[in-house]
Each structure stands twice: as C-alpha cells, then as structure tokens.
C-alpha cells in the first residue's frame, strides 16, 4: 500500500504531538517509509509544505527528504480534470484558488488500487463546490482515504521505532 500525504497531515503532526524537536523518531520513520516507497507526496503538495517559513519547511528542503517523500511521477492532467469534476459543479477561477492543490493529491490516487490518501480533513458531506473536503471528494472519485491516526496505526509508528 502506498500512502499519499496531504499537506495538512504533516503540518498537523508538526504543530501538535509530533513536533520535529519533540519526536524526531516520527520524522525519521516517515523518511524511512518514503525511501521504501510506501509514503509519498505529489510534487504540488510537497511544494505547498516546503514553501512554508518554519522548521517543517526547512526539514523538507534537503535533497534527501525530497528524494524520499516526493512522488517521482508528474500529475496526470486527465486525472486532475476527473477529480475537479467530482467537485460537482462548474468551478470558477476563484473556486480553483479556494480548492488549492487538493485535486493533485486526489488525482495521484485515481485508478491505482494500492494508493490511498492521508488527510487530516474531516468529512463534511453537505458542503458543495469548492468548499468540499478531501474525504468527500475522494469518496465521490472512488478513492480510499484514511486519517493520519489510521495511517500511523497502519504503518505501526512507535517512539522506540528503529529501522
């Protein structure tokens, strides 16, 4: 199984319980699984986090982190368009700005059975258009998604982790 991380999964981890300076084992564990190919981020999502001005962004800048975590393939334009169609209505330029990079994340899992999205967003099925959340768009596109907690359980992170 390959887990595709949403930016909010890393940002939330860093800003809450798994801060880089508090639980460095978590970040080593991520790099280990990235090198193994089981954890990746599409380039557009990776760039979103890397563009920040904090310790997490600095952690993502070295070539080793990019090599480990950034998905090597380019985004498939047809898949991105298919995901945008799952938003359910004609989208304006303002809508596309609101949606951001999420369609690239979801499109990277489209049609690939052993990929799933990891997002900290909560399902809000009554939202429409550009206000839709990643889990709901994933559901409509037939893509499996999990929460960061489920991801950590699935890959069995422990603070005494050692590769």
The arithmetic mean of pLDDT across residues 111-128, rounded, is 96
Q: pTM for this structure?
A: 0.95
Domains (range + CATH), the chain = 2-154 (3.40.50.1010)
Q: Return d(Cα 33, Cα 54) in angstroms, integer.
A: 23
112: left (phi over 0), alpha (psi -120 to 50) or beta: beta
Q: Does residue 142 register a pLDDT over 70?
A: yes
Q: What is the pLDDT of residues 6-53, one digit of tens each?
A: 999 999 999 999 999 999 999 999 999 999 999 999 999 999 999 999
What's the whole-number average pLDDT of the chain? 95
């Amino acid at each position: 199984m390959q887990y595709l991380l949403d930016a909010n999964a890393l940002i939330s981890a860093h800003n809450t319980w798994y801060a880089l300076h508090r639980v460095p084992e978590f970040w080593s564990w991520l790099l280990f699984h990235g090198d193994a190919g089981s954890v990746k981020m599409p380039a557009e999502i990776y760039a979103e986090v890397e563009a920040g001005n904090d310790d997490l962004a600095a952690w993502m800048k070295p070539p080793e982190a990019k090599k480990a975590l950034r998905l090597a393939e380019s985004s498939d334009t047809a898949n991105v368009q298919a995901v945008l169609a799952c938003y359910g209505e004609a989208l304006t330029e303002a809508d596309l700005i609101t949606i951001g990079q999420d369609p690239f994340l979801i499109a990277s899992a489209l049609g690939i059975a052993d990929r799933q999205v990891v997002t900290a967003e909560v399902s809000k099925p009554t939202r429409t258009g550009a206000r839709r959340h990643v889990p709901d768009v994933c559901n409509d596109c037939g893509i499996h998604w999990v929460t960061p907690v489920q991801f950590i359980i699935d890959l069995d992170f422990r603070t005494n982790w050692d590769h």
